[in-house]
């Protein structure tokens, strides 16, 4: 009976030797982080635009405008970070496509070997 439990553990480890489940979890986490960044940028942008509108409407002085410019620069940096995440997604797509091609080739080879 104790061997059955260890056999199930070994089967569980062998069920995903290529780590596709982990890749799926990592992909979902990356999408979550991108969505979180987008929401954060959206909130900051809305707040900055409202602040800027109030400043222009109330004729506030130059130093506050400079502060807003620096905040927009920080926002741009976050946008660049978001772009890096999208680049990561593109790389995952390329890896996935390559992986699918290799799996198809392995399946075809296996079918040929099986026929012999």
27-62 pLDDT per residue, tens:
899 999 999 999 999 999 999 999 888 877 776 666
Q: If you average pLDDT over residues 102-115, what whole number do you get? A: 89
Rounded Cα–Cα distance for residues 67 and 53 (Å): 14
The owner of tokens 């890096």 is: 84
């Amino acid at each position: 009976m104790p061997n059955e439990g260890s056999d199930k553990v070994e089967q569980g480890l062998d069920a995903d030797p290529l780590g596709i489940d982990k890749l799926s979890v990592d992909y979902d986490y990356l999408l979550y982080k991108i969505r979180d960044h987008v929401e954060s940028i959206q909130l900051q942008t809305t707040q900055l635009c409202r602040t800027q509108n109030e400043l222009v409407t109330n004729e506030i002085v130059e130093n506050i405008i400079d502060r807003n410019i620096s905040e927009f620069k920080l926002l741009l940096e976050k946008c660049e970070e978001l772009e890096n995440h999208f680049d990561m997604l593109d790389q995952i797509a390329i890896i996935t496509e390559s992986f699918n091609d290799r799996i198809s080739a392995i399946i075809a080879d296996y079918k040929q070997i099986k026929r012999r």
